[in-house]
């Protein structure tokens, strides 16, 4: 695994006062999400540990993806959608009025269920473009270095290094997804959100992504939403189990170390879900 060389860029934006041993990257505090007047996520409080993989599991439609999208302020893009509660990121509430949501999204990256590389850009440009647009690159050399670094981190470099100019959509599904991961990493996010990243992929590609996640967590913090319990038990360090309440809103049933959730859950609901009795 290559070490992260610092990318050229406005270094004055980087302070050294980030406590390297900070335990939590993000902390959700009684977060609720609404579509209009309808609440779909109910008062979820959830700590996300740094340099770990946190999995959010639960039956379909219980608001897992919605919750994830609250973290990088994507939920509010839907007309009428809003969020209540606090999401703490390094002591700041991401939903404070003086926070720029666009900036939040550059700091907290997201990978979607369906790979969505930019269709008119090459592999190289797909990775480089967002960084380029944000002025993080000083010159072409820095750009090439960034592209290689991110593609290596996404375990895609060896497969595409000879065809960086090929179209982003000329790759297989699994490769496209890794390309999207590389693209998200190019912005050097702190946290990477992954919304069912493997559900559109075949089993081999899925395994590749899971291996990738294990590597990535050494550098990044990852939150993954998955409906695949086996996947959650394979990759994650902590697991949060959500389910639909009687008010048709998702709520947090239980959250603990992954091993605990799957072998010794404290709640009956959790026990029922992980043993396959419902969901």
Partner 1 sequence: MSRSASLAAERLRSTSSARRARERALEICAWASLVLALVPLVAIGIFLIGQGVRSLSLEFFTSDPPGDLSATGGGIRNAVVGTLMMTGLATLVAVPVGIALAVFSREIGGRVAAAVRFVVDVLAGLPSIVVGIFVYSLVVVATGHFSGYAGAVALAVIELPVIVVATDELLRLTDRRIDEGTRALGMLRWRSFLSVFIPTALSGIITGIMLAVSRAIGETAPLIFTALGNNFFTLDLNEPVQAMPLLIYRNALNSAFPAARDRAMGTALVLVVIVLGFNLAGRWIARRARPADQR
Partner 2 sequence: MTPGSHAGGIRTLARRPGLSQDGWFRLALRGVALLVIVPILWMMVDTFSVTVPVWERFGIPGFVVGARWAPSFTIYGALPFIYGTILTSAIAMLIAVPVAVLIALLITEILPARARTAVAVTVDLLAAIPSVVYGLWGLLVLVPFLRPFEQAVAGTLGTVIPFLAGPTPGPSYFAAGVVVSIMIVPIIAALSREVFAATPRLQREAVRALGGTRWDVIRTVVLPIGRSGVLAAIILGLARAIGETIAVTMVIGNAPKIGASIFSPGFTLASVIANEFNEANQELHPEALIALGLVLLVISVLVNGLAILIRGRFARGVGRVA
Q: Work out whether 199 is an interface residue with partner 1 (CB under 8 A).
A: no
Tally the C-alpha atoms within 13 A of residue 87's C-alpha that lie toward its C-beta. Answer: 23
Q: Kindly write out the interface string for residues 152-191 of this chain, putting x where it contacts partner 1 by CB under 8 A and - elsewhere.
A: -----------------x----------x--xx--x----
Q: Work out whether 120 is an interface residue with partner 1 (CB under 8 A).
A: yes
Burial class (CB in 10 A: 0-12, 13-18, 19+), 277: exposed
Q: Work out whether 259 is an interface residue with partner 2 (CB under 8 A).
A: no
Q: Kindly write out the interface string for residues 199-238 of this chain, putting x where it contacts partner 2 by CB under 8 A and - elsewhere.
A: --------------------xxx-----------------
Total of residues contacting partner 2 (CB under 8 A): 29
Supply the minimum distance, in Å, between the C-beta of residue 257 and partner 1.
29
Q: What CA–CA distance (Å, rounded) separates 153 from 89?
A: 24
**Given 59, 93, 114, 267, the residue binding partner 1 (CB under 8 A):** 114
Tally the C-alpha atoms within 13 A of residue 54's C-alpha that lie toward its C-beta. Answer: 27
Sign of the torsion formed by the C-alpha atoms of 45, 220, 17 and 129: negative
**Given 190, 237, 257, 260, the residue binding partner 2 (CB under 8 A):** 190
CA end-to-end span of the chain: 38
Residue 119: contacted member of partner 1, partner 2, none (CB under 5 to 8 Å, by partner type): partner 1
**Given 1, 4, 138, 141, the residue binding partner 2 (CB under 8 A):** 4
Q: Which of 170, 222, 267, 205 is nearest to 55 (CA)?
A: 222
Sheet containing 38-49, strands listed edge to edge, beginning at the edge strand earlier in sequence: 92-93, 81-89, 24-35, 38-49, 250-257, 238-244, 53-57, 221-225, 191-195, 108-111
Read off φ and ψ for residue 15, nearest 5 degrees.
-100, 160
Select the span of 38-46, 54-62, 189-197, 223-231 touching partner 2 (CB under 8 A): 189-197
Q: What CA–CA distance (Å, rounded) separates 278 from 276?
A: 5
212 within 8 A of 204, measured Cβ to Cβ: no
**Given 70, 81, 191, 193, the residue binding partner 2 (CB under 8 A):** 191
For partner 1, the binding residues (CB under 8 A) are 72, 74, 77, 102-107, 109-110, 112, 114, 116-121, 129-130, 133-134, 169, 180, 183-184, 187
For partner 2, the binding residues (CB under 8 A) are 4, 6, 13-18, 20, 89-92, 94, 98-100, 102-104, 106-107, 188-191, 219-221
């Amino acid at each position: 695994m290559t070490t992260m060389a610092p990318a050229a860029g406005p270094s004055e934006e980087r302070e050294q006062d980030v406590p390297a041993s900070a335990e939590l990257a993000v902390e959700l505090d009684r977060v609720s999400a609404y579509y209009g007047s309808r609440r779909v996520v109910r008062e979820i409080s959830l700590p996300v540990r740094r340099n770990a993989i946190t999995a959010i599991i639960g039956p379909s439609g219980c608001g897992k993806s919605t919750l994830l999208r609250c973290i990088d302020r994507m939920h509010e893009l839907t007309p009428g959608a809003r969020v209540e509660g606090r999401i703490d990121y390094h002591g700041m509430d991401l939903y404070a009025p003086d926070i720029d949501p666009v900036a939040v999204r550059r700091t907290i990256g997201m990978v979607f269920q369906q790979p969505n590389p930019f269709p008119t850009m090459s592999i190289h440009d797909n990775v480089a473009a967002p960084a380029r647009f944000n002025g993080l690159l000083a010159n072409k050399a820095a750009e090439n270095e960034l592209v290689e670094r991110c593609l290596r981190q996404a375990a895609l470099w060896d497969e595409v290094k000879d065809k960086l100019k090929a179209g982003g959509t000329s790759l297989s599904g699994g490769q496209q997804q890794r390309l999207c991961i590389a693209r998200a990493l190019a912005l050097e996010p702190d946290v990477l959100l992954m919304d069912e990243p493997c559900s559109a992929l075949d089993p081999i590609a899925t395994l590749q992504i899971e291996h990738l996640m294990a590597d990535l967590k050494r550098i990044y913090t990852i939150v993954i939403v998955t409906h695949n319990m086996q996947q959650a038990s394979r990759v994650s360090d902590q697991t949060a189990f959500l389910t639909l309440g009687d008010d048709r809103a998702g709520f947090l049933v239980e959250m603990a170390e992954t091993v605990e959730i799957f072998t010794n859950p404290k709640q009956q609901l959790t026990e029922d879900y992980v043993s396959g009795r419902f969901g």
